[in-house]
Amino acid sequence: MNFGFTEEQEMIRSQAAEFFKQEYPIAVVRESLNDEHGFNQDLWNKMSTLGWASLVFPEEYHGAGLTFVELAVLLEQMGRALAPGAFFSTVLLGGLTILETASAEQKLKWLTSIADGKLKSTLAHIEPGGDSDAGGPSFATAKRKDNGYVLNGTKLFVPDAHSADLILCTARSSGSSIPKEGISLFAVDQTSAGLNITTLKTMDQTRRLYEVKFNQVFVPEDRLLGKVGQASPAIEKVFCKATIGRSAEMVGGAQKMLDMCVDYAKQRIQFGRPIGSFQAIQHKCADMLLSIESARSAVYAAACAASEDSHDAALLASVAKAYTNDACRFVGGETIQIHGGMGFTWEHDAHLYFKRAKADEFSFGDATYHRARVAELIGL
Amino acid sequence: MDLKRTPDERRFCEEVRAWLAANQADLNESQTYDQAENMDGWMAFLKRWQRKLYDAGWSGISWPKEYGGRGATITEELIFTEEMALAKAPNLMNVSIGIELVGPAIIHHGSEAQKKRYLPKILSAEEIWSQGFSEPDAGSDLASLRTVAVEKDDQFIVTGQKVWTSWAEYSDYCILLARTDPKAPKHKGISCFLVDMRSPGITIRPTVQITGEAEFSEVFFDGVCLPKESLLGGINEGWKVAMTILAHERGTSAIKYQIRFRTELDDLISLSKSMRRNGKALSEDPLVQQKLAQCFIDVEVLKYNIYRSVSQIMRNGKPGPESSIIKLFWSEMDRRQKEISMELLGLYSQLVQHSKWTIDDGKWPRAFLWSRAGTIYAGSSEIQRNIIAERVLGLPRSSDAR
């Protein structure tokens, strides 16, 4: 047992930290806020060169064959840098879903392109009035027609749909009353006729969410991923990893917030002393560090479990997300408070992290949802 | 990063389990003592038990072999501690002060002669230790302690008073902090001594706590003569020794608490299934489920915090100021969870040991009261936050605190 970084993990961490410092400084983050789709081609190309999109995929699909732990290490640095969403959507939502469900032929076609950085993807699952978890009832329908399916329905909160070449979409292919049954998964070209993508104006502008409408979208049969009507278990597995991955990003963002607070508290003079010498500020910072380090422990443990496909991966994912949600809400709030009036200005960067932390809190389940999951999984 | 045990670690774990299974009779015996009513019998049992551990090579797992330890890794020590706690083997009580605090201090700061003289007898429980740090006017501000040790001829003459000395009555030796240079800045005029508790001039007066027990004592030193060799570390270098001890007190030994918290939580979850309120089991109430799930989350997170800290110690050789995070986490968590246990028991939470209708013979209110100690001893939560802020995060010092 060794719960510290391996040399390789440490290398990924330091390489990513350095990369984002050079290639995605906060000035560039701010430029992206005004861009309608928030996709940065230059950054994408550079990340592709480093092979990050290939990290966790098998070598036969041009992957690097590393584990989910290495990916979590990378995601933590991405969260710290407020990296845009296309990487997460492509690798964790698109890539992992394809890896989990697709045929060898489909994998060769799509997974290889994802690993090469040539294809961007996302997953359209949540619907208006539907649950936000993996097993939510799907109102979107897939009806058999000719040698394919016709999709109809509306998907909400789809991340990075505009930049995704391939939109994976869940839809109900049979009218079962059991929510988790009868859901099928399709890979839809973003340019398909009848597909309508609308940007959602969000509080957090460092990522982009969309409404994706399917109006009589025809999908040929070879675009069905996995067996018809049986997508839910795979979606659940993907959501488990996405939950851990999102938590890793959140820990990175929270660490950056604390670093900003500590720097500010050392420099800001009031009553003739740096405010960081006041215990009122010191104790806030100490509690922030405790929350962040604890969230980090939980995320790493969950990442280890997920990389080994351990039976308690789902439990640890919920432990991690519940803890991290609460931790980041606390850290985000204290960050604004410690920065005082400056923290309430647009000019200061605190709000960028504060808003993202709030948005992250509700993606892949809030703390109440995950506590209920934990209760269920420990037999309460 | 790998949470799986190596083949060596698995073998080690099996060895521990086999030994514990072979000595189940002792574990059973440990359950028969009522500590409140038969403290002498309990202490005698603990000494016998530790002697047995020592003879089998289970005392001082990560200590060097030359001083009677096993010379194993800190991960193996963690596994051993986990297995002991899982088997509900008794905590070594004051004996643990010797192994967990005094031992590391002597290993880091002691002379060769001191190591040979004291370490094996700590491991075998032939000599029981207590800790003489706090004073009436030196609690959080430990460095302002006033007990003095005056050098005279070949001796140090100690005069002063210590408080909150756990198990002083049962101890043979005490690790003592005393002022040796009253003119020096307060951290720089302190020395550390290894004191024979049978020395003339020592008086012990037990302090009754809010639990009704008297685990702590006041200890008075009235012109107690110590031989020169009782000095541990250099003269006026006692603060360094104290820091070593406090880091260990806040560190990885927390794994045994973690397992106790987990066992207590499992008991509380069982209780929530059998206790009924408003016509249904408590465990069916979604609010209760949320609270118990949060307890589970915190106990799990504590475990992984400790694992990470152990991995850090493996890299750096000793616990650093980060151990304050572990201490702060578990003590605050314990307080929250014991409040929840009282809430679940409701009116029954008032019924103490031996009362009619009491639940689990009053263990919940007792644990509730004890949970108020953890955030105070070994450095209060406020002191831990100061340490984290100044020594981990590097914030400027707050006035002249500590």
What pLDDT tens digit does each residue of chain B (402 aa) get? Answer: 888 899 999 999 999 999 999 999 999 999 898 877 888 898 899 999 999 999 999 998 988 999 989 999 888 988 998 898 889 888 776 667 888 899 999 999 999 999 999 999 999 999 999 999 999 999 999 999 999 999 999 999 999 999 999 889 999 999 999 999 999 999 999 999 999 999 999 999 999 999 998 888 999 999 999 999 999 999 999 999 998 888 777 656 788 889 999 999 999 999 999 999 989 999 999 999 999 999 999 999 999 999 999 888 888 777 777 889 999 999 999 999 999 999 999 999 999 999 999 999 999 999 999 999 999 998 999 999 999 999 999 999 986 544
Q: Taking a C-beta distance cutoff of 8 angstroms, is the pair B258, B302 a contact?
A: yes
Q: Which residues of A touch B325 (CB under 8 A)?
A: 289-290, 293-294
Which chain B residue has its CA at the smallest distance from A279's CA? Answer: B398
Contact B296 A1 (CB under 8 A): no
Quick one: which of B147, B144, B165 has its CA closest to B157? B147
Looking at residue B312, its pLDDT comes to 85
Looking at residue A198, its pLDDT comes to 97
Q: Which of A282, A368, A374 is closest, CB to CB, to B389? A: A282
Confidence bin at A175 (pLDDT 50/70/90): confident
Where residue B203 falls (left for φ over 0; alpha for ψ -120 to 50; beta otherwise) is beta
| Cβ neighbours, 10 Å, residue B384 | 26
Per-residue pLDDT tens digits for A316-368: 999 999 999 999 999 999 999 999 999 999 999 999 999 999 999 999 999 99
Q: Taking a C-beta distance cutoff of 8 angstroms, is the pair A188, A155 a contact?
A: no
| Amino acid residing at B274 | S
Say how many CA atoms lie within 13 Å of B187 toward its Cβ: 9
DSSP one-letter code for B138: B
φ and ψ at A368, to 5 degrees? -65, -45
Q: Which of B1, B269, B300 is closest, CB to CB, to A300? A: B1
Determine the distance in angstroms separating the CA of A331 from the nearest CA of chain B, rounded to an integer: 15
| Amino acid residing at A161 | A
**Rounded distance, CA B115 to CA B106, Å?**
6
H/E stretch holding B157 reads strand B155-166
Determine the distance in angstroms separating the CA of B109 from the nearest CA of chain A, rounded to an integer: 28
Q: Quick one: average pLDDT of A256-266?
A: 98
Q: Which of B269, B294, B329 is closest, CB to CB, to A371? A: B294
Q: Taking a C-beta distance cutoff of 8 angstroms, is the pair A85, A207 a contact?
A: yes
Pairing of strands A121-124, A166-172: parallel
**Rounded distance, CA A350 to CA A346, Å?**
9
H/E stretch holding B75 reads helix B74-86
Contact B290 A265 (CB under 8 A): no
Q: Taking a C-beta distance cutoff of 8 angstroms, is the pair B127, B54 a contact?
A: no
Is the pLDDT at A212 greater than 90, yes or no? yes
Which chain A residue has its CA at the smallest distance from B286's CA? Answer: A372
Quick one: which of A172, A165, A159 has its CA closest to A212? A159
Exposure b/e, A257-270, CB count within 10 A at least 16 = b: bbebbbebbbebee
Looking at residue B401, its pLDDT comes to 46
| Amino acid residing at A15 | Q
Per-residue pLDDT tens digits for A287-299: 999 999 999 999 9
Environment class of B196 (CB within 10 Å of its CB; exposed 0-12, middle 13-18, buried 19+): middle
Q: Which of A278, A283, A295 is closest, CB to CB, to B385? A: A283
| Amino acid residing at B30 | S
Contact A4 B312 (CB under 8 A): yes
Looking at residue B139, its pLDDT comes to 92
Determine the distance in angstroms separating the CA of A368 from the nearest CA of chain B, rounded to an integer: 7
What single string gives the DSSP state of each residue in A322-367? HHHHHHHHHHHHHHHHHHHHHHTSSSSTHHHHHHHHHHHHHTT--H
Determine the distance in angstroms separating the CA of A284 from the nearest CA of chain B, rounded to an integer: 9
H/E stretch holding A263 reads helix A232-267
Decide if B215 is catalytic.
no
Q: Taking a C-beta distance cutoff of 8 angstroms, is the pair B180, B190 a contact?
A: yes
Looking at residue B402, its pLDDT comes to 42
Interface test with B, best of A3, A71, A279, A371 (most B CBs within 10 A): A3
Determine the distance in angstroms separating the CA of B198 from the nearest CA of chain A, rounded to an integer: 43
**Rounded distance, CA B83 to CA B77, Å?**
10
Contact B397 A286 (CB under 8 A): no
Question: Rounded to 10 degrees, what is the CA torsion of B12, B14, B17, B19?
Answer: -70
Q: Which residues of A touch B262 (CB under 8 A)?
A: none
**Rounded distance, CA B83 to CA A151, Å?**
56
Q: Quick one: average pLDDT of A264-293?
A: 97
What single string gives the DSSP state of each residue in A147-213? TEEEEEEEEEEEETTTT-SEEEEEEE-S--SSTTSSEEEEEEETT-TTEEEEEEP-S--SS-EEEEE
Q: Taking a C-beta distance cutoff of 8 angstroms, is the pair B156, B221 a contact?
A: no
Neighbouring residues of B389: CB distance < 8 A, sequence distance ≥ 6: A276, A279, A282, A283, A285, A286, B395
CA angle B284, B285, B286 (to 5 degrees): 110
The pTM of the full predicted model, rounded to 2 decimals, is 0.95
Q: Taking a C-beta distance cutoff of 8 angstroms, is the pair B173, B129 a contact?
A: yes
Average pLDDT, chain A: 95
Looking at residue B369, its pLDDT comes to 97
Q: Which residues of A touch B265 (CB under 8 A)?
A: none
DSSP one-letter code for A2: B
Looking at residue B95, its pLDDT comes to 62
Q: Which residues of A touch B388 (CB under 8 A)?
A: 285-286, 289-290
| Cβ neighbours, 10 Å, residue A114 | 27
φ and ψ at B207, to 5 degrees? -110, 125
Residue B131: strand pairing partners: B175
Chain A with chain B: Cβ pairs closer than 8 A:
159
Q: Taking a C-beta distance cutoff of 8 angstroms, is the pair B232, B241 a contact?
A: yes
Looking at residue B245, its pLDDT comes to 85
Looking at residue A61, its pLDDT comes to 97
Which chain B residue has its CA at the smallest distance from A69's CA? Answer: B1
